[in-house]
Amino acid sequence: MKIHDLKPAPGSRRPKRRVARGIGGKGGKTAGRGSKGQGARNNVPARFEGGQTPLHRRTPKAKGFTNPFRVEYHVVNLSTLDGFDAGAEVTPDTLRASGLVAKRGLVKVLARGDLTKSLTVRAHGFSAAAVRAIEAAGGSVEVLPLPWPTGRPPARGNALTNR
């Protein structure tokens, strides 16, 4: 097969409809517009919605938008982690058991406060300063994978168009 042999599938391309070319053509006389009335004439703007409040007036004018793919974390600070025993393993489950984070959701460790004990901390996210502080105290950090296969959460709100 060569490039000059290519052509569209039979029936996929139809000739353009030539309206208002006389009564012998398919679109003769009124050319599919009916008889008289607003729709038959050529003075209705494309944005006109039949008297309904038009789209440009019913959309909110506030700037910005809400990102439907936002990843939200429950925050734990180093000062909170300092309450654990030295050598302990801190995971989202142990934080939930002690009531420090909500029962669902991702956990992120931030660097507010001081850490004086060596801890093994497992969480979904860390700030760079928190990693430095944990390792300086003799502990270790492990980043847990996010629960979504694509790396971002499923869309929420108005982004769900195909329900």
Domain ranges of the chain: 73-143
19-50 pLDDT, tens per residue?
888 887 778 888 888 888 888 888 888 888 88
Contact 76, 101 (CB under 8 A): yes
Confidence label for 136 from pLDDT (cuts 50, 70 and 90):
very high
Please tell me the distance from the alpha carbon of residue 128 to that of residue 143, in angstroms, as a whole number. 12
Q: Name the fold adopted by 73-143.
A: Ribosomal Protein L15; Chain: K; domain 2 (3.100.10)
Question: pTM (2 decimals)?
Answer: 0.57
